[in-house]
Homo-oligomer: A and B are copies of this chain.
């Protein structure tokens, strides 16, 4: 199969770019002497995970139990589920543990910590649980200086069905940074608060074996990892236009695009229609208000390479996208009806989630249009048989 024959819209993944992105992050984190625990919430693919795990210790991060079950089913045995656990989800976790998978959970509430401990004892298992620390994102987590930190740590340590596994922080507010110095400052803040939380737990006589932090920007641009044991990051594997604008990658590093077919020309309106709309691209507008507002995506040749200057997907309907040109004159003749383009996404986590597979290409290979392989993805939240 080749890209000029593949049914569209379809998700395309450049293998060389993926490998380079993974190698760059692995080297950055290894250079600071800590372990990288790749976050698979973006890629959701065992094949991508294998590339990301090259040179690393083998543990991963996930954002859903669906992902945990999928990756466990493919042989991954050390999984951090980095979203606050609630007791109703513990039966699925216990089922994975019975298969020999070490699943680490996070909590940010003393009552939940006690409930997890109680449920672990009922299920005759021990849940490995970290305390989630909020380094400033204002999502989940407790303040590193809070009484709740110690109360949760103690509940986990004392509970029959839990083991205190450490502390975990995610500086998602690094996405608001607009230069690398600001990213580095957020990274240092993330590190200091996580290490501060770990020191407070230890001073209270509690164990804190793991100190886990991370986001793609802070993982790449942190200046120190003192006191940390591991770093988590995920979107770096694929990259997107938002990450390119905040300095996590170059546009030429973006590994994923949506292959689309030109289905119409509106010369009267200055628009080229493609068969990739809101479902194929997502409605993420995270580049809105940034120096390069990409609309719903930049438009590159089907064979890959640099985006075509001035072209964006300006508007989306459920299954239609409208390409416009900054100069008002899109290249109708160069993009006839039936021809194909590759749309680079604002936010690859959202875009890739609409597809159940990647089509592997290699722009550096002998035929950039050749699909060398098809890699599956998991999506959704439903249980996966392990």
Interface residues of A (CB under 8 A from B): 5, 7-10, 41, 63-65, 83-89, 92, 108-109, 111-112, 115, 138-140, 143, 172, 261-266, 268-269, 271, 273, 275, 278-280, 282-285, 317-320, 322, 337-338, 349-350, 353-357, 379-383
Contact = CB atoms under 8 A, between A and B. Distances in A.
A339 to B, nearest CB: 9
9 A-B pairs with least C-beta separation: A84-B263, A63-B319, A86-B338, A140-B264, A84-B264, A283-B283, A283-B284, A83-B319, A86-B263
Contacts of A383: 7
Number of this chain's copies in the complex: 2
A41 B350 contact: no
Contacts of A111: 337
Nearest to A170: B317
Nearest to A143: B268
B282 A7 contact: no
User: Is the contact region of chain A dominated by helix, strand, or loop, or is it mixed?
Assistant: loop
B140 A86 contact: no
Contacts of A139: 273, 317, 320, 322
Nearest to A8: B381
Contacts of A112: 337-338
Contact of A381 (B85, B172, B280): B280
Contacts of A337: 86, 109, 111-112
A353 B284 CA distance: 15
Given A86-B263, A264-B109, A381-B8, A282 B283 contact: yes
Given A140-B264, A172-B317, A317-B139, A88 B41 contact: no
